[in-house]
Chain A
Amino acid sequence: MKTFSWKLLLVFAVIVAAFIYILPTLEMRINHKKEPTLWPRKEINLGLDLQGGMHLVLEVDTEKAVESNVERIAQEIKERLKKKRIRNVAVDRIEGTKISTRVQNEEAVSKVKDLLDDEFRDLKLTKSTDIGTTVFTLEIPDRETKDIQKLAIDQALETIRNRIDQFGVAEPDIRRQGDKRILIQLPGVKDPQRAKDLIGRTALLEFKLVDDTGNLQAALKGDVPPGREVLYEVDEDPETGRTSKIPLLLKRRTLLTGAYLTDARVQIDSQYNIPYVSLEFDKKGARIFERVTAENVNNRLAIVLDQKVASAPVIQEKISGGQARITGNFTMEEARDLAIVLRAGALPAPVIVLEERTVGPSLGADSIRKGLISMCIGGILVILFMIFYYKASGLIADFALMLNIILIAGGLAAFQATLTLPGIAGIILTIGMAVDANVIIFERIREELALGRTPKAALDAGYDRATLTILDANVTTLIAAVVLFQFGTGPVKGFAVTLSLGVIASMFTALILSRMIFDYILLNRKAKMLSI
């Protein structure tokens, strides 16, 4: 008896461990709790296809981040030139990420050169002449471009994380994928469209002056004065759903951005009972805001959000204290979302949705129900068949089968793997294939018995000969499962996990557990016959 006592211990430990890992999930489901409370507080995670939710893959347009960086430097150069009173220099962003500085008059060339050498030394500089004008072309070095791109992704990741946190999703999974992609999984999200709009919004808030003296009509026809741009104020009537677009001629220069915000909240206008978003600037932002409003009383200040004018009120007086508000025909939800994105900050570059998979909660529940029904019926068919075909030995195989399912479930919880619909299919498939190991053994034992051996000898021979075959046959399935796990995404990974767990569990139950039961019956009960 001593020879297999360590096996007994092992089997016992494995089974107990599996139960311990399943209990928190069971308790959670039965008592409708949100979190597992029982030790070890690990539950079986359900995939998005089972609990409903959204899977998004975004790509950060890092090129745009570099461009806006270059644009900022170009602005800076312009300002420095202005300060040093160097005139007739045209500074423009060309070919996306280069700055051309065209100097018309000869005597300014050396001054511009000095300025660029002194204050913009970290840029690559090339000099050329073009019909009498000297052109300095500035370029960001490659290494820095890469840094900007990397930073843009890190920032985007952080910002999106902030927004989702504030939106309120339980256990979101946000991670970087590959070079410039962001993978977002939002289980159980109630309003996926809203969540997506919230995540995908650039939310770049800018304050610009309206140029009411300029010729808007000419600008609309394409003759935009230098340093000006035309943006639209889009207004949607919440009742009719019709939109109106009012063009505005703005001064291009950005006076203040959302980067200086410390807070953004939804408030209700007591007069009209409509929501608006109140903004609060930090000290520096407040100072800038005060100066800008003081200098431009009676002018209009446009609040530009993602290249659309939200509103353009007339500045009545100097505003100190760093408070501002964005009004518009917002619904409560829109105002709330706007406040969230402003608080969380702007994305450093626009993002593009590359992949989206949304499953409604009702479909997920349907999938679980159908999966469980198939599992039960398939399982019962197999169990009945085994009893019918192998009698009492079939019963042992069935017992092993049930234990298999428990081991798979325990394994899922222990490894914190995710159960998906294909994962349930994997368990169902395992039920069908798991009896295989037992069938191989039983058939072998039957053969040995037919050769006239005693039950004990037949049993030993059967197991000895079948063990290697079983190992071999299962390794191939395991190889397929491991490769799938490596290359699969979401649901398919879930399949790979349950399939591998199933294969390992079925080897364990067939080779160790059912063997022990047979040995016990033959030795302790002194059975003279094998019911096989």
Chain B
Amino acid sequence: MQVIKPDINLDFIGRRKIAFYLSIAVIIISILSLIIHKGPKLGIDFEGGTLIQVKFLSSVKIDDIKVGLNTIGLGKSSVQGFGEKSTNEYLIRTESALVTSEGFSSQLKQALESSVDSDAEIRRLEMVGPQVGEDLREKALFAMFYALLFITIYISGRFEMKWLISAVMAAALIGAVYILNIFDVSIPFLIIAALIVTLILFWFLELKYAMGAIVALIHDVTITVGVFSIFEKEFTLPIIAALLTIIGYSLNDTIIVFDRIRENIKKHHKKPMAFIINRSINETLSRTVLTSVTTLFVVVTLFILGGGIIHDFAFALIIGVLVGTYSSIYVASPILLTWQQRGKTRK
């Protein structure tokens, strides 16, 4: 069976303006949402705090749970339903990292049982002190940073077959980061600075493929983070894992399109770039769509059936797969084309 015919020829490049405005709009919305919400909403992993997952035998009212919490001095906690409604599970979250002193869980259990009049089971208790939260935040950001660094080095070397340049890139990046580190810049700014340095270097070294790939990657991560912010979902350690996976996945798509573009440049070296790029996208379209479909199959299954704990993780992956597929067609390749045309007009 073939859904996408081999002679398919959709005009992707012709519609790149629409895609460009669409991407810009979504990115602006994402950034606006982040500004309105004062940055991404951090889970207890990164902010410190206490999270308690409780399951009740019969259905209960959230207000009753709050009454019970009040009696043991946890009146300020937020309470929300968790997972499917029929399971009567709730998440209790406090901002302070409780020192769960002797007998805390039995106290909590008693207080809840007497206020909601149902047997309670404390299924999960997570307490992260502010210090550890800060450590984990730093670790997560470093993970993002190093993933970007290594991927940048890899694609600048691999795409252009210029490993020497990639070594220069690596040295320049590490140098820039080292200097910034001396001035004690916070890590988010370090990442942004590293990205800007990367883009500038790509520009001057004329690494056009690498530029396209990195821009697509920034596009994907920004939108995923933005969607999380819009839906007011929390960032936890697994979400960082999901973001890094998205980075890998998005590049995977981009690399396959770019590989085909390079191959087609050799084959049709007389044809204009726009034609070559469009043809390459069409030739790989079948593969792009198929892989996205099978990946979506599994992540949607995970989203629906995987249970509450893995829910947001699967959600991030769904967004990432969708955006990653879109960006390899509509972000990475058009940037390549824009670059090429810029080069031509200069000549």
For the complex, is A193 an interface residue (Cβ under 8 Å from B)? Answer: yes
For the complex, is B301 an interface residue (Cβ under 8 Å from A)? Answer: yes
For the complex, is A527 an interface residue (Cβ under 8 Å from B)? Answer: no
For residue A465, which residues in chain B have a CB less than 8 angstroms away from its CB? 263
Q: Which of A356, A378, A492 touches B100 (beta carbons < 8 Å)? A: A356
For residue B259, which residues in chain A have a CB less than 8 angstroms away from its CB? 468-469, 472
Interface residues of B in 141-161 (CB under 8 A from A): 142-143, 146-147, 150-151, 154-155, 158
Interface residues of B in 124-145 (CB under 8 A from A): 124-129, 131-132, 136, 139-140, 142-143
Q: Which of B102, B287, B314 touches A440 (beta carbons < 8 Å)? A: B287
Q: Is the interface of A mostly helix, strand, loop or mixed?
A: helix
For residue A425, which residues in chain B have a CB less than 8 angstroms away from its CB? 238, 302, 306, 310, 313-314
For the complex, is A454 an interface residue (Cβ under 8 Å from B)? Answer: no
Cα distance, A11 to B6, chains bound together (Å):
33
**4 tightest Cβ-Cβ pairs between the two chains A and B:** A477-B248, A378-B298, A432-B298, A487-B143
The answer to whether A484 and B143 touch (CB under 8 A), given A422-B241, A446-B6, is yes
The answer to whether A476 and B251 touch (CB under 8 A), given A354-B131, A483-B146, A499-B245, is yes
> Which among B104, B140, B252, B293 has the greatest number of chain A C-beta atoms within 10 A?
B252
For residue B136, which residues in chain A have a CB less than 8 angstroms away from its CB? 489
Interface positions of B (Cβ within 8 A of A): 1-3, 6, 53, 99-100, 102-106, 121-129, 131-132, 136, 139-140, 142-143, 146-147, 150-151, 154-155, 158, 237-238, 240-241, 244-245, 247-249, 251-252, 255-256, 259, 263, 283-284, 286-287, 290-291, 293-299, 301-302, 304-307, 309-310, 313-314, 317
Q: Which of A358, A381, A385 touches B126 (beta carbons < 8 Å)? A: A358
For residue A357, which residues in chain B have a CB less than 8 angstroms away from its CB? 124-127
Cα distance, A421 to B158, chains bound together (Å):
34
For residue B100, which residues in chain A have a CB less than 8 angstroms away from its CB? 193, 196, 353, 356
Could you list some 16 contacts between A and B, CB below 8 A? A49-B309, A193-B104, A352-B99, A357-B125, A358-B124, A363-B124, A378-B301, A381-B298, A388-B1, A425-B310, A428-B306, A440-B287, A473-B252, A473-B255, A476-B247, A479-B147
- Chain B: CB-nearest residue to A191: B105
> Which among B128, B140, B147, B294 has the greatest number of chain A C-beta atoms within 10 A?
B294
Cα distance, A57 to B143, chains bound together (Å):
21
Interface residues of A in 452-488 (CB under 8 A from B): 465, 468-469, 472-481, 483-484, 486-488
The answer to whether A193 and B287 touch (CB under 8 A), given A356-B127, A476-B248, is no
Interface residues of A in 367-389 (CB under 8 A from B): 367, 370-371, 373-374, 377-379, 381-382, 385-386, 388-389
- Chain A: CB-nearest residue to B150: A479
Q: Which of A367, A446, A487, A496 touches B146 (beta carbons < 8 Å)? A: A487
The reply to whether B124 and A360 form a contact with Cβ atoms under 8 Å apart is yes
The reply to whether A496 and B306 form a contact with Cβ atoms under 8 Å apart is no
Q: Is the interface of B mostly helix, strand, loop or mixed?
A: helix
The reply to whether B310 and A363 form a contact with Cβ atoms under 8 Å apart is no
- Chain B: CB-nearest residue to A54: B125
Cα distance, A439 to B290, chains bound together (Å):
7
Cα distance, A483 to B151, chains bound together (Å):
10
Interface residues of A in 475-512 (CB under 8 A from B): 475-481, 483-484, 486-489, 491-492, 495-496, 499
Cα distance, A436 to B324, chains bound together (Å):
15
- Chain A: CB-nearest residue to B237: A492
Q: Which of B121, B123, B143, B304 touches A483 (beta carbons < 8 Å)? A: B143
For the complex, is A169 an interface residue (Cβ under 8 Å from B)? Answer: no
- Chain A: CB-nearest residue to B263: A465
Place the interface of chain A in its size category: 35 or more
For the complex, is A204 an interface residue (Cβ under 8 Å from B)? Answer: no
For the complex, is A433 an interface residue (Cβ under 8 Å from B)? Answer: yes
For residue B287, which residues in chain A have a CB less than 8 angstroms away from its CB? 436, 439-440, 443
For residue B3, which residues in chain A have a CB less than 8 angstroms away from its CB? 389
The reply to whether B252 and A474 form a contact with Cβ atoms under 8 Å apart is yes
The reply to whether B237 and A489 form a contact with Cβ atoms under 8 Å apart is yes
- Chain B: CB-nearest residue to A468: B259
The reply to whether A382 and B298 form a contact with Cβ atoms under 8 Å apart is yes
Report the minimum CB–CB distance from A426 to chain B (whole Å): 8
The reply to whether A57 and B132 form a contact with Cβ atoms under 8 Å apart is yes
Cα distance, A483 to B127, chains bound together (Å):
26
For the complex, is A391 an interface residue (Cβ under 8 Å from B)? Answer: yes
For the complex, is A429 an interface residue (Cβ under 8 Å from B)? Answer: yes
The answer to whether A483 and B283 touch (CB under 8 A), given A358-B125, A425-B310, is no
Report the minimum CB–CB distance from A429 to chain B (whole Å): 6
Q: Which of B155, B238, B299 touches A429 (beta carbons < 8 Å)? A: B299
Report the minimum CB–CB distance from A311 to chain B (whole Å): 19
Report the minimum CB–CB distance from A347 to chain B (whole Å): 16
The reply to whether A354 and B132 form a contact with Cβ atoms under 8 Å apart is yes
Report the minimum CB–CB distance from A320 to chain B (whole Å): 36
For residue B299, which residues in chain A have a CB less than 8 angstroms away from its CB? 428-429, 432
For residue A192, which residues in chain B have a CB less than 8 angstroms away from its CB? 105, 125
For residue A389, which residues in chain B have a CB less than 8 angstroms away from its CB? 1, 3, 290
Cα distance, A379 to B241, chains bound together (Å):
22
The reply to whether B237 and A491 form a contact with Cβ atoms under 8 Å apart is yes
For the complex, is A431 an interface residue (Cβ under 8 Å from B)? Answer: yes
What mask results when residues 301 to 323 of chain A are scored 1 for a CB within 8 Å of chain B, else 0?
A: 00000000000000000000000
Report the minimum CB–CB distance from A484 to chain B (whole Å): 5
The reply to whether B283 and A447 form a contact with Cβ atoms under 8 Å apart is yes
> Which among A57, A355, A363, A488 has the greatest number of chain B C-beta atoms within 10 A?
A355
The answer to whether A353 and B127 touch (CB under 8 A), given A374-B305, A385-B294, A469-B256, is yes
Interface residues of A in 176-206 (CB under 8 A from B): 192-193, 196-197
For the complex, is A254 an interface residue (Cβ under 8 Å from B)? Answer: no
Cα distance, A197 to B283, chains bound together (Å):
64
